[in-house]
Structure 1
Amino acid sequence: MRTRLAMRLLLLTSVRTAELRGATWNEIDLKSAIWAIPGERMKMGHPHVVPLSTQAIEILKEIRKITGATAADDYVFPNVKDKSRPMAPTTINAALIRTGFNGERLFRAHGARGTFSTWAHEQGFTPLAIERQLAHVEKNRVSRAYNKAELLPERQKMMQDWGDALQSMSD
């Protein structure tokens, strides 16, 4: 059940698996529907804000009940054998392999990010908002230095629309 919820949250947030596995409850603000990932946990070293859809919030509430997390520094997805460690790095991809979905290595958990990006572009969201959601850093140093926009209103709408689209596929 934990792995299934982790896979669903990965799809709903389009974060990298390492970011998901290392998430702690002090990063999550359920009331504001925001997940603030500190820079030291990000690939490029920059803090990242992830707007949470109502579907993502429901998963977070469900996993908290399952794990019984009470402390702010508890992992959202703790290791089953040792709660002081995060979920194992291979858990999500191993689940894809076990279900037969990943038998020919055509899809990995990281591929969910590409699926989201394609969908968001097809829906007409601005490329910059999509790139911000994926925590991609502007390659042009001057642009990166001047443009600090998070584009949260557009990204919040984008992530809710994405959550609704995924939910409609499972109904």
Structure 2
Amino acid sequence: MRLLLLTSVRTAELRGATWKEIDFNTATWIIPIERMKMRRPHIVPLSAQAVQVLEQIQKITGTKAADDHLFPNVKDKSRPMAATTINAALIRAGFNNERLFRAHGARGTFSTWAHEQGFAPLAVERQLAHVEKNRASRAYNKAELLPERRKMMQDWGDYLQSVSG
């Protein structure tokens, strides 16, 4: 759940993540096109807090091979964890009402925070892997806005750390 909050990716993107997608040297996670809802690769800048969580995950799971899932299925390590696992954990934590919070709500929480902090709307949308609705703009503007997104994600990581104690 912590990595989901720190990266603001969709739950399917998180569940299917493999170690070959993570570049610790550049603190970047590149989700390939075949795993993305909008069918374009997605670059996720990783905050220092996200990198720390990834390092902890490696220690816990012992998985480091390129094709290993970050979150392997407990019954079959060649598959990712089940689609219901994250929301089931939230239910066990007491968030048992759909209106309270579900995993997808992490994206809305991040988006609201980022807009309130004054980050460029296009940078926020790129971070959420949303595509431009205007076909002409989508065809011409391929900017990833990585410098602003790196700052945004580090500020977000710092904010989450400050409120979690």
Query: What is the TM-score with the length of structure 1 in the denominator?
Result: 0.94
1:46 to 33, 36, 40: 40
In the TM superposition, 1:131-150 aligns within 5 A as 131-150=125-144
Residue 146 of structure 1 aligns with an amino acid whose one-letter code is Y
Residue 168 of structure 1 aligns with an amino acid whose one-letter code is S
Residue 57 of structure 1 aligns with an amino acid whose one-letter code is V
Q: Which runs of 4+ in 1 moved over 2 A?
A: none
- Determine whether 1:130 maps to 2:124: yes
In the TM superposition, 1:1-171 aligns within 5 A as 7-101=1-95, 103-106=96-99, 107-171=101-165
Segments of structure 1 that go 5 or more residues without pairing to the other structure are 1-6
CA-to-aligned-CA distance 1:32-76 (integer Å, 9 cap, x gap): 000000011000101000000000000000101111113101001
3-state SS, counterpart of residue 44 of structure 1: coil
- Give me the whole-angstrom Cα distance separating, in 2, the residues matched to 1:17 and 1:104: 18
CA-to-aligned-CA distance 1:84-108 (integer Å, 9 cap, x gap): 110110000011111112x221111
3-state SS, counterpart of residue 83 of structure 2: coil
Residue 25 of structure 1 aligns with an amino acid whose one-letter code is W
More deviation, 129-138/64-73? 64-73
Corresponding residue pairs, total: 164
Query: What is the TM-score with the length of structure 2 in the denominator?
Result: 0.98
Segments of structure 2 that go 5 or more residues without pairing to the other structure are none
Residue 18 of structure 2 aligns with an amino acid whose one-letter code is T
Sequence identity of aligned pairs in percent? 79
